[in-house]
Structure 1
Amino acid sequence: MAWGLIREMGHVSIQTNDVEGSIFDATQLLGLRVTERTANEVYLAANSVHHELVYVESEVNGIQSIGLIAQNGDALREIRRRVESENFKFVSHTAVSAGVQDGFSFIGPEGWIFEIYTGMQKSDPGLQGFGPDRYGHINFHPRDPRSMMEFLRRIFDFRLSDVIGDDYAYFMRCNPDHHGIALIAGGGTFHHHAWQVQSIADLAKLGDRLGRAGRELIWGPVRHGAGHNIAAYYVETSGAVVELYTDLEQIYDDEREPVIWAEDENWWNMWSNRRTDDFRTFGIRSVTELKTFH
């Protein structure tokens, strides 16, 4: 169970200039279901909740918000107090997403919008043929990963699981999952959203679906060193990367010291030291940086 102010990762909201293409990817490749559709938003989920992924119709592709679920109302109020004390700019003082009871959103470091909430509605997943168990984590590439790491610890009580190099990368958790947010030094882009599946066989089936659709995996399956998960990746219509993973390390010792890796140590793939040259070049920016905030 979670120990701090955040219980679990909530959702990723993505602006897309091809909403139908994004829905195809999420339903036919990833295996999510549409739970609600409004004039310009589409809510999707794998788990028995209202949403874990949101697509917003737009002229440009970009990350609209990163959703985090607070432990309870007291935790939500404490996060709001911390946000106010550091003078972060509020986007909304009330919940923005459909299907949640209470919440607010604000602009954090480097222009990333965080939506914090409680009380998400349940949604019956029905009898699906394939798809992940749940949304698990995100990976993005801040220009200043140390500053972002300290922000996540200070405002939300995230803890460090692994540290890579000298301020190069940080893997951070809010519950027993090895990481809910991974930070790797870069150019200020969001790299991927990740979804838990039952076994490595599900990664092979993803490859089959991609092949039939004329698409491809951009990396994997691989066995990561940091997190130990087996993972495979593809690029969705918006330009963001999607990861399917299984066998992620679970950390039940709340006081476990972070694992330290050298930057050039093979923390990325325990089966090989090779990485695709363009893997980290994929990704999309925050809508605040694109100056098209919805």
Structure 2
Amino acid sequence: MSWGLINAMGHVGIQTTKLEESVFDATQILGLRETERTSDAVYLAAGNVHHELVYVESDVDGVDSFGLVAVNGDALRTIRRRVEDEGFKIVSEKPRGAGIEDGFSFVGPEGFVFEIYIGMQEDKASQLSFGPDRYGHFNFHPRDVGGMMRFLQRVLDFRLSDVIGDDYAYFMRCNPDHHGIALVRGKGTLHHHAWQTQSIADLGKLGDRLNKLGRELIWGPVRHGAGNNIAAYFVEPSGNVIELYTDLEQIYDPNRPPVVWGEDENWYNMWSNYRPMDFRTHGLAPANPAP
């Protein structure tokens, strides 16, 4: 179900200097499965699709791309025209990786690459593991958070779910999930990609797996106010953060007005006022920023 040109969050692509360590975290800690491996990339998924996360071997740690699924071919072409009208640079007129039928990529605001596509291959898991159900959203910290919000509205038809403060943060949706993209004013970095699971017990088990490896959660479990989800976070080898969450608010009214919070209100932790001071210091800049 969607109300615009994009109907699903597709994937996150990350360039990493520690490919095998990143794949270990994704498969052995988060619980994804490897679906394909090429000479320089590893494709991973939780759901029955070819990929929802891609690690690209690189000499830098950074964001490779954000993948978004268009409703159909007409929507894909409409977005392509909007991108052209906005003057954004097209970096590929065809899918950049494996497992996608049709799509294109462009450099959006602040150097982040967006890949818009249709027709991802199906890849059914042979058996269920301990991992999440699916990829859900990403959170990043643009310098011009208002400009990024308006770009997502104007070009990709995202809608506002929550507004935080005076041009401080925006939570935006492309389907009933409260947010597919969260924006918090910052230094121009991706902060985390997030994965939906069925129970808060799965968040506890994530903490147990990290503990066995001598590692730790950096925050959570915590109940957010914006989105209502229960979440836990850890840092992957690239320096980016991974979130596992459950119980995210669902919004079925396409015209529901956004919930408005004050910046100093407790929109981030409904169970206490605690928020780690270094939580937002993690993250990744675009790997290949536009000149």
TM-score (norm 2): 0.99
Deviation at 1:60, TM superposition (A): 1.0
1:17 corresponding residue in structure 2: 17
Using structure 1 for the length normalisation, give the TM-score: 0.98
SS class of match (1:101):
strand
Match of 1:191 in 2: 191
Which moves more between the two structures, 174-183 or 128-137?
A: 128-137
| Displacement of 1:42 | 0.3
Counterpart-to-counterpart distance in 2, 1:125 and 1:251: 29
Tell me the amino acid that sits aligned with residue 237 of structure 1: P
Equivalent residues in 2 for 1:63-142, closer than 5 Å:
63-142=63-142
Aligned length: 291
Equivalent position of 1:54 in the other structure: 54
Compute the displacement of 1:290 (Å). 8.9
CA distance in 1, matches of 2:234, 2:101: 33
Percent of aligned pairs with the same amino acid = 70
Shift of 1:289: 3.0
Tell me, yes or no, if the aligned pair for 1:62 and 1:290 is still in contact at 8 Å: no
- Name the counterpart of 2:223: 223
Amino acid at match of 1:51: H
Query: What is the CA-CA distance between 1:214 and the residue it aligns to?
Result: 1.2
Q: Which amino acid aligns with 1:187?
A: K
Q: Could you say which residue in structure 1 is the equivalent of 2:248?
A: 248
Deviation at 1:35, TM superposition (A): 0.2
Unmatched 5+ stretches in structure 2: none
2:166 maps to amino acid: D
Give the superposition deviation at 1:124.
1.1
In the alignment, residue 119 of structure 1 is paired with which amino acid? G
Letter paired with 1:101: E
Match of 2:6 in 1: 6
What's the C-alpha RMSD, in Å, of the aligned pairs?
A: 0.9
Q: Equivalents in 2 of 1:213, 1:100: separation in Å?
A: 35
Contact kept, 8 Å, 2:197 with 2:244, in 1: the verdict is yes
Distance 2:132 2:218 in 1: 19
Aligned position for 1:271: 271
Alignment map for 1:13-52 (pairs within 5 Å): 13-52=13-52
1:75-108 deviation digits (Å, cap 9, x = unpaired):
0000000000111000101111210100000000
Aligned-pair CA distance for 1:127: 1.1
